[in-house]
Amino acid sequence: MQTLAFTFPAAAPPRGRALAGVVASGDLEVLLEPASDARITIEVTTSVEGMERTWAALFARLFAEPTRPAVHLQINDFGATPGVVGLRIAQAFDAVAQED
Amino acid sequence: MDAQRLLARNSFTELNARARARALLDPGSFRELIDPFERLSSPWLPRQGIVTQADDGLVVARGLLDGAPAVVLAIEGAFQGGSMGEVSAAKIAGSLELAAEDNARGIPTRAAIVFETGGVRLQEANLGLAGIAEIQAAMVDLRRYQPVVGIVAGPVGCYGGMSIAAGLCSYLLVTREARLGLNGPAVIEQEAGVGEFDSRDRATIWGLTGGEQRYRSGLADRYVEDDAADLRQALLDCMREGRPGRCRSERTEAFLASLAKIDGTRPATPADVATAYGKELRA
C-alpha cells in the first residue's frame, strides 16, 4: 500500500460532492468534495506500489488546464488501470456538474 | 426468462450496495446514515497494508417501505468479499438496535438486510466475530416487534457467521444466483476431501447450496427473479404479512429430526436434502 499526494490549479468550486466506484479488484473509489482555495488536491491510497509516474502523468493530462472546479479528491485504489481511474474521476465530476 | 423479460429487467445482483438499498426503499425516501464522507472506515486494514473503503463496505439507508419507517442495511460484496469488520458489523448492529428502540417507543421501524458476505473479515478476527454476535442479538431483539427480512441475491452469497444471521431472519429471500452455507465450497473440500465436496463443480455447489435448493428445502421463504422491482415487491409482501408465528430458528426440532433421516454414509444429493427437509418445514 502506498499513499501519494498531488495539487493542481482550478476554477471555482462546485456546490455538491460525489462518490464513484467501489474498492473492488481492478476498481477504485473516488470521493469528490468542494475545496475553497482554487486548487485541486488529490490524495491517493493504492494497493499497487511504485506507480507514482503513471499517476502523475494521468493527473497532469486531466488537470493541466485550470478549467476544472476546485475539489479535494480522495482516491482509494485497488489495482485499477489508468483507463478505469479516468472513468471514475469523470463520473464523479459529472455527478457534481449535474447538481450545479 | 425469455429475451424480452431479460432486456426489460433491472438486475439486482448487478447493482452495488448503495443502489440496492435505493431500489428496495420507497422511491425518493432513501437517506444514508454514516455516509462515506464521514469516513468511518476500518482502522485495522491500513496497518496490514490493505486499502480501506470510506464506508467500510456497508450502506445504512433510512427510508420508507410501504410508507412505514424502515432501515436497509446493504453489504457491498465487492469490497473485501463483503466481510464483516469491526466498523461494518457495528453499523449493522447499531442500526438494528436503534430500530428496536424505535419500536419500544411506538415507532414501527422495520429492517431489511442485504447479505453479500463471506462472513467475518479475517484481518479483524475477534472484533468481527464479536460484531457478528451483536448483529445476531440485535436481530433476535428486533424481530419481536417487526419482521427482519434478509435478502441473499448473489453473486458472493452468504457464508460463515453471517449465514447464521440469515437463518435468524423472520423471512429470507433468495435468487437463483444466491448461495447460502456455513462454510464455503473450498473450505468444505479442504476439511472433508474432494470426494465429499468438489469445490470446482459449480453444479454441485449451486445444487446443494444455491438459492433454488435452499428454497426447495425450506431454508429460504421466497425464491425471487433477479429483478430489483420483484425483490422490492417480495420484501413488501413479507412486511405486509407481519411477524411469522415462529421464526425458522424457533423451529429447530423439526429441522434436526429431518437431518437425522439423512444417510450420512454417502454424500447427499440435492434431491435427498429436498426430500428430507421438504415443504413440511415451512412456517
The pLDDT score that the predictor gives to residue B1 is: 66
Residue B279 pLDDT: 59
Q: Do B51 and A1 touch (CB under 8 A)?
A: yes
Minimal CA–CA distance to B119: which of B80, B167, B176, B72?
B80
Chain A residues in contact with B52 by the CB 8 A cut-off are 23, 45, 76
Angle between helix axes B125-142 and B86-104 (nearest 10 degrees) is 20
Test A1 with B50 for CB contact under 8 angstroms.
Answer: yes
Is it the case that residue A98 has pLDDT exceeding 70? Answer: yes
Predicted local confidence at residue B264, as pLDDT: 82
Q: What share of chain B is helix, strand, coil (3-state, %, to 5)?
A: 45, 15, 40
Do A23 and B79 lie within an 8 Å CB cutoff? yes
Q: Which residues of A touch B43 (CB under 8 A)?
A: none
**Mean pLDDT of the residues in chain A:** 95
Cell of A5: 499526494
| The model's pTM | 0.94
Q: Could you tell me if A2 lies within 8 Å of chain B, comparing CB atoms?
A: no
Q: Which residues of B touch A85 (CB under 8 A)?
A: none
B77, burial (CB in 10 Å: exposed 0-12, middle 13-18, buried 19+): buried
Alpha carbons A43 and A55: distance in angstroms, whole number = 11
Q: Tell me the C-alpha distance between B240 and B66, whole Å.
A: 9
Residue spans of alpha helices (H) in B193-250: 202-209, 211-216, 228-241
**Which residues in chain A touch residue B37, judged by CB atoms under 8 angstroms apart?**
17, 19, 31, 33
CB atoms A1 and B79 under 8 Å = no
pLDDT of residue B283: 47
Give how far Cα B51 sits from Cα of A90, B56, B57, Å: 22, 10, 12
Of B37, B52, B76, the CB nearest to A22: B76
**CB spacing of A74 vs B54 below 8 angstroms:** yes
| Of A17, A33, A76, Cβ closest to residue B51 | A76
Q: In what order do the strands lie in the sheet with B148-152?
A: B31-33, B58-65, B68-75, B110-115, B148-152, B171-174, B222-223
Return the residue in B51, B79, B80, B87 with the most chain A beta carbons within 10 A, the one to mutate for interface testing. Answer: B51
**Number of Cβ within a 10 Å radius of residue B39:** 13
Please tell me the distance from the alpha carbon of residue B94 to that of residue B117, in angstroms, as a whole number. 18
Instruction: List chain B residues with pLDDT less than 50.
Output: 283
Q: Does A22 sit within 8 Å of B37, measured CB to CB?
A: no
Nearest-CB residue to B51 (from A17, A23, A31): A23
**Tens digits of per-residue pLDDT, A65-96?**
889 999 999 999 999 999 999 999 999 999 99
The verdict on ipTM greater than 0.85 is yes
Give the gap in angstroms from C-alpha B75 to the nearest C-alpha of chain A.
Answer: 12
How high is the mean pLDDT of chain B? 94
Rounded-to-integer distance, Cα A89 and Cα B39, Å:
19
Between A22, A33, A47, which is nearest B78 by CB? A22
Are the Cβ atoms of B53 and A22 closer than 8 angstroms?
yes
**Structurally, what CATH architecture does the domain formed by B3-180+220-249 represent?**
Alpha-Beta Complex (3.90)
Q: Which of B37, B51, B54 sits opposite A78 (nearest CB)?
A: B51
Is the CB of B116 inside 8 Å of chain A's CB atoms? no
